[in-house]
A and B are shown apart, each in its own frame.
Chain A
Amino acid sequence: MKFYRSHVLVCVDPECLAKGAHDILDGLQDELVYQGLIDEVQVLETSRIGGCANGPEIVVYPEGVHYVGLSVDQLPFLVEEHFLKGRVVESLLAKEVKRADEELGPPKPKEVRVVLRNCGKIDPENIEDYIAEDGYQALGKVLSEMTPEQVIEEVLASGLRGRGGAGFPTGRKWQFCRSAPGSPKYIICNADEGDPGAFMNRRVLEGDPHSVIEGMIIAAYAIGASRGYIYCRAEYPVAVRTLNIAIKQARNLGLLGDDILGSGFSFDLEVRMGAGAFVCGEETALMASIEGKRGEPRPRPPFPAVKGLWGKPTNINNVETYANVPQIILKGAQWFASMGTEKSKGTKTFAIAGDVNNTGLIEVPLGITLREVIFDIGEGIKGGKKFKAVQTGGPMGGCLPEQYLDMPVDYESLTAAGSIMGSGGMIVMDEDTCMVDIARFFMEFTQDESCGKCTPCRVGTRRILEILERICDGHGKDGDIETLEMLCQQIKATSLCGLGQGAPNPVESTLKHFRHEYEAHIYEKRCPAKVCRGLIHYRISDNVCTGCMVCARNCPVEAISGERRQVHYIDPDICIRCGICQQVCNFNAVEVY
């Protein structure tokens, strides 16, 4: 094999191609030949380097230098400087751009990347990239050296727990499924990531699909399954496409299909798309959906491990759970168990959103405190405001106030505090957030997503929402808090699936930790955070108003009166509390009380 001292990766994404990536490719080749470096430097095509907006772009390895905005005329200079003289051309270097929310930034201190290790680093559409990062070595090891029982032992020993939220020990689940009578057995990957603002799984599917596929093949081997499904929500078209490409590539290399790696073990996979129902993330509803039925959960037991897809034993895990498996096999259970707490091992990805400076995707060892996540990794609250609460675990999670900031993030602690791990959503709220309004917001979501199969969830969640709406509108009445508390408790106890059982969590936790806000709404007809429209008023401060008339011109209901250069007045009976006056005032003269 030829040895190159340098590799130049030229991005050939559509956007870069449109900007002349092919000319850059040809130009580089010519220039390298001209300068006599063609035997030392190899030019390759790649994609998704990350700077297409400023393309064409290249990355030079081993240094990992990223050049953007190239033109053909610059190439002679670049080749001479970088490859002949060994100097980085500063003027062409990619600037550090502030990444948008969903982008995965470079690891921050305190982050440990296991699941996300390849994301953004490898080409997800090229299986060789994954293989170059030790991909499918775990599978090789499993198929050639380990019995299914040993695989399960290893996963058990690692302490890996379901990353979908409930935290059931993965190895135990596999054991149940393996020992359940019946055949064929099925493997399902739950990639129906429906929590608003959560995109941990999408990132893995789009950035490192083979880690999930490899994990599934290993699980299939351990359980004795011959067929698998990845149930991915249709709102993730890129993930679906990437997965399909990955599956095809794995099949071409004999990593899926009959007689995988000559071991005699056969397994194949397909992607099934959801149709937008949140409840299809619940495992029994998900299976119903795969079967082509209405996506509704059914009571458990029987659990999927005994009676799952088409009535056969089925193992169903989350994307992140499967993505952890190859690493556990390769690096050993001990390595994995060395991270995390006593009962919650390994790392967990979180999507941090809300009022923090640094939102986005992170992966941290379990046991890290909320404070570290929010203030160290999230870099604190936006605008220097005060932290009020953090809501973990998606729409069925609870809101935790300041006193929980030093609590370790693990399954047990979160549950004890009245929230859940969930799939890893984390919404940070500052002092301007009304907790009643937040509870109302989440209730709106869950009652809308209730499938309607069981009575408590179908009717009860709507009833809670109605009461919350009334409170937010300023019509709360004595006894509402007690009714809410009882409803929450009843719905939790009597609902069929996790959606209904978890739906009251945001209400229950806010009632517990922010009861005074509810009381202010109901008894004082006041929204302390000044959010609930029914309870706030706008007025124009006499000593600040300049009488510029901007507010009066912009008021959609003509509630503002006043002559030019005179102090203006908002008629509270006409005002609809839209807040436009406050936004348009150049002198901050409009205040809320």
Chain B
Amino acid sequence: MSDNSNVTLTIDGQQVTVPKGTLVVEAARKIGIEIPVFCYHDKLEPVGMCRMCLVEVGTPVINRETGKPELDEQGQPVIRFFPKPMTACNTVVSDGMVVKVNSESALADRKAVLEFILTSHPLDCPVCDKGGECPLQDLTIRHGPGVSRFDYEDKQHFPKRYPLGDLIVLDMERCIICARCVRFQNEIAHDPVLAIEERGRNAHIVSYSNPGFDSHYSGNTTDICPVGALTTRDFRFGARAWELTNYPSVCNHCGVGCNTVLSTRLGKIKRIMPRQNEAVNEIWICDKGRFGHHFNGSPRRLTAPLVRQGDELVETTWDDALRRVAEKFAAIKQTAGPDALGGIAGARLSNEDLYLFQKFFREVIGTNNVDHRVGLNAALEDETAYTVGVGCDTDLGRVGRDTTILVLGADLDEEAPILYLRVAGAASKRGAHVINAGARRTKLDGQAQTVLRYRCGSAAHLAWGLVAEVLAHGLVNQDWAARLEGLADLQKAVQAYTPEKVAATTGVPAEAISAAAKAFAGAENGIILFGLEAGSDPSLRAAVEALALLTGHAGRPDNGVIAVLPHANSRGAADMGVLPHRLPGYRPVEGQAGLSAAEMLTPGSPVKGLLIAAADPAADSDTWRAALEQLDFLVVQELFLTETARMADVVLPARGVAERDGSFTNLERRVQAFDPGVPAPGQAWADWLIISALAGMMGADWPYASADGVMAEITRSVPLYQGMAFENLVAPITLERRTSHYIYEGMSFTADIREGVQWPTLAEGDASLPLRFVAPADPPAADDGDFILAAPRVLYDAGRLLAEAELVQPRLHRPEAVLSAGDAARLGVQTGDTVTVSRGDVSVSLPVRVDRKLETGIVLVARNLEGRPAEKLLGPAGLVAAVQVEKGGGMKAEG
């Protein structure tokens, strides 16, 4: 009847075979029998509290003596039904089980439960945001009683507009106490800030945090809320669900590449919803992605090309603007040579934009002076993905007990929130071994089984220590040894990095280093994530690569390295060769490498004319601003009149992600296409079109008519992107995924439509793989009384796009210096006081925040905040440095 891993049961007369451990509700879904639910959600642990899924359940009677099922006269097993109805949401199937979903008594029970729910519900559907896509409405039609036995006057009353925080509003009258929101926060977001207070009919949802509902994931609770109890400030009374036109998009706020839906009405984005992709974001998006879309429709957007007339920028036609650029670039090329021109493109651009951007400079201008490493990308770049990136079909939402995940210098909750959910879930729900190595406490420490705390700036030492331990204990994966080049040299080079020596440098105990190396090497699957706080140190990257290769954790699903890159298309920018030393697909340039962004932006650089797209170096650094001032000619493609754009000679208005199509490559190398959803403001053009038109003006004969067309060329000329024509990128998700999960019942749009395509790494082929050793730099030494400045990245930073989202302004991080309680006491300061942080001749005054959980000797100043204090102290690419911190602020905070 059934093998060991499957069981067969009968539901309403239909037989179904499902894996052991399946819940009755899921088994029924599999054969198309709907069991209505409110509290059950398959991403959450079942609790059986709403009682909506009551069914009759019987199991075969087992004869105690024989151990076999008893049979009746017809030879059928005798079924004994449980005396009370059972909740299908938490009853696990068993062999021979008989379930009656639609029996008379089960129907009556469910009808009763629904009536109870409805007697308290205000039935204010006409003004409810959930109306039209509300499970309660839908289930009432299907299962509810026609009339209520209870008087309207008896309804329960609660405050109608109770703010749970800045973003989420609670209408307690609509709440049916399914606790999905509370459970999401506890089980998935690991921000247990919601709770049910009081009991019985007075039970209600409260937020205990300050500020209220303090979580990066709060918006998701409004999605899974089965009624309109939780609504977002953003969409509240925004539109009726059925009036919305929905377009698939991809979030452009970080490198995770969450799949989203633009719900639009009359050409405006009304809300951003998650789109289901189990391989990327499951069904979640973070609040930055959900509420940070307002840059699209902002009145401050650039609507027409601008050209400089004296001190002013005045509007002009596209033709005029492009002609000026073409003429000036041609003139510079002629007088000073092609290398006097350069291009800097931000990693916010799509693959198509970036490909044409570098092609323009390499083919039309004839220089390798292109780079994307500005802004946050200046501090973190990555090429390890090319060799040891995570294998195709890696799914962090699936990995479990047999997997070890090493997180190195990444604060995932801030840098890549949805990645945090997935890694934390792997640890807390599925038993993966997460080793969180960082210089300071991060949220993942709470879920990680192992926490390694290294000294600021010593991440590379720790990584080499792990490599050395792998080699010292013979933990090298023998299947791989033959493909590895330079094993003997490496072995010799890392000999010195004994656990004891590394322990002395990093402060991580020698036993812990040894244990971590063994845990990582010994696991069936191993994944390494490294982030901004480990930085771009070539030594660290070499060590990470070596660790993955030696242990065989590369080249197959659920194995490999993920660099937690900062921008939506940081990965794509590197893939597309927007690098002075790399052509598309990581091929080395022929001949001389071009100038890097940092070199181009050095005052006195040979570059005279610069095209900057989607980047704002003038805001990032005073040095860079000085370099821009010295240019002969500056062209900026932008959404807004940024500080850099203000300095430009020509400003070209570009389209935002919601106004055009294109593709992003996320940090797991998944290429995902997005569609336009709203019209562009004024005369804005997509960046690829601007570049294409400019190339045309300069004599190139480019045939591109659409982003699709550009991608078609990419697939031909970049071998890595072979399979990524748009028709593949928009191919529907395989059927199995479609049925396994859902965001909520009754959704008014199709939420699982595209899967995206990953490109294979070198390790997935059979090429030989080089091992390199790069000696790590010593961590900065703090002299007596000095502090180590570390500059983490925060989710709500001073990015230009987020500045347009009014709702999240209260959550933006203001510039501040975070000190440990001990250090604050030593300096005699408290939260709110001012300190001066100085390094060399740079000093910045900042308000203090005391963090009791911070290690002593560290001062944290987050990156990319207003005035860029961290960048001022460290330089745009710097990671950590020894600084002095003094009480009081002699001077005003600069910038």
Contact = CB atoms under 8 A, between A and B. Distances in A.
Report if A and B associate in a common complex: yes
A450 B198 CA distance: 10
Contacts of B109: 490, 493-494
Given A454-B50, A455-B176, A490 B112 contact: yes
B177 A452 contact: yes
Contacts of A490: 108-109, 112
Interface stretch (B199-207, B214-222, B317-325): B199-207
Contacts of B87: 299
Nearest to B50: A455
A453 B177 contact: yes
A312 interface: no
A451 B200 contact: yes
A355 to B, nearest CB: 30
Interface stretch (A122-130, A327-335, A457-465, A512-520): A457-465
Contacts of A277: 199
A447 B112 CA distance: 18
Interface stretch (B60-68, B116-124, B346-354, B670-678): B116-124
B49 A496 contact: yes
Nearest to B87: A299
B112 A456 contact: yes
A449 B85 contact: no
Contacts of B112: 456, 460, 490-491, 493-494
A456 B113 contact: yes
A590 to B, nearest CB: 35
Interface in B24-57: 47-52, 54
Contact of B198 (A452, A460, A462): A452
A466 B112 CA distance: 17
A35 interface: no
A494 B54 contact: yes
Contacts of A358: none
Interface residues of A, number: 30
Contact of A456 (B116, B176, B195): B116
A251 interface: no
B149 interface: yes
A46 to B, nearest CB: 44
B200 A450 contact: yes
Contact of B201 (A298, A450, A453, A483): A450
Interface string A277-302: 10100000000000000100011000
B84 interface: yes
Given A452-B196, A452-B203, A493 B85 contact: yes
A190 interface: no
B54 A458 contact: no
Interface in A398-455: 447-455
Contact of B200 (A298, A458, A494): A458
Interface in A463-498: 463, 466, 483, 490-491, 493-496
A299 B48 CA distance: 6
Interface in B97-119: 105, 108-109, 112-113, 116-117, 119
Contacts of B202: 452
A490 B49 CA distance: 15
Contacts of B48: 298-299, 454, 496
Nearest to A460: B116
A451 B199 contact: yes
A501 interface: yes
B497 to A, nearest CB: 40
Contacts of A461: 200
A447 B119 contact: no
A455 B196 contact: no
A464 to B, nearest CB: 11
Contact of B47 (A298, A447, A449, A483): A298
Interface in B182-210: 195-196, 198-203
B201 A458 contact: yes
B84 A493 contact: yes
**Most interface-central of B47, B113, B176, B202 (chain A CB within 10 A):** B113
A136 B52 CA distance: 50
A465 to B, nearest CB: 10
Interface string A297-329: 011000000000000000000000000000000
Contact of A459 (B54, B105, B116, B149): B116
B196 A456 contact: no
Given A299-B87, A452-B177, A462 B200 contact: yes
Interface in A47-79: none
Contacts of A279: 199
A491 B90 CA distance: 19
Nearest to A479: B149
B199 A455 contact: no
B636 to A, nearest CB: 56
A462 B112 CA distance: 14
A454 B200 contact: no
A494 B51 contact: yes
A463 B200 contact: no
B784 interface: no
A459 B115 CA distance: 10
A466 B179 CA distance: 26
Given A447-B201, A459-B119, A454 B49 contact: yes
Interface in B593-609: none
Nearest to A462: B201
Given A277-B199, A490-B109, A453 B149 contact: no
Nearest to B109: A494
Interface in A261-290: 277, 279
A43 B856 CA distance: 65
B113 A455 contact: yes
10 contacts: A294-B195, A447-B200, A450-B200, A452-B198, A455-B52, A456-B51, A459-B119, A460-B112, A463-B116, A494-B113
Interface of A: 277, 279, 294, 298-299, 447-456, 458-463, 466, 483, 490-491, 493-496, 501
Interface of B: 47-52, 54, 84-85, 87, 90, 105, 108-109, 112-113, 116-117, 119-120, 149-150, 154, 176-177, 179, 195-196, 198-203
Closest 3 CB pairs of A and B: A452-B203, A490-B112, A299-B48
Given A450-B201, A455-B113, A493-B105, 18 more contacts: A299-B87, A450-B199, A451-B203, A452-B198, A453-B47, A453-B49, A453-B177, A455-B49, A459-B119, A460-B116, A463-B150, A466-B150, A483-B149, A493-B54, A493-B84, A494-B51, A494-B109, A494-B112
